Amino acid sequence: MRKVEHIGIAVKDISVSVPLFEKLLDIACYKTEMVESELVNTAFFKKGETKIELLESVDPEGVIAKFIDRKGEGIHHIAFDVDDIEAEMRRLQNEGFVLLNETPKQGADNKLVCFLHPKSTNGVLIELCQEKK
């Protein structure tokens, strides 16, 4: 893992949260995107090397909607940038971590992604990200 790629924040209403984070961070949202595989709308901010991803569910039964129902709005995951996602997935699985997907899948912001089960990471949902080449 090279660096924290982004921090994902679950929000109820992205149209309310984008202006809030624009004021908070004093920067404009640079990208919005619908990620069909996760049933979420996303909005991205970049401050220095740090990226923030807002996640809004488009399905009341979606993962983000269920997360908000259980825990409320807030930090959903931390994503780490990796050079070779498949090699990192194998390494982490060999170390005993539980993968939520067996193969990388298409994520937002031109990334291949894989999530680690929070039960194997002290309750923190971890995302691995590799820039698609």
- Answer yes or no: pTM beyond 0.85: yes
Hey, CA dihedral for 6, 12, 13, 18, is it positive or negative? negative
Note the pLDDT tens digit of each residue in 53-102: 999 999 999 999 999 999 999 999 999 999 999 999 999 999 999 999 99
115 and 100 Cβ atoms separated by less than 8 Å: yes
Give the pair of three-digit tokens for residue 103: 């193969």
Residue type at 32? T
104-11-79-40 Cα dihedral, nearest 10 degrees: 20
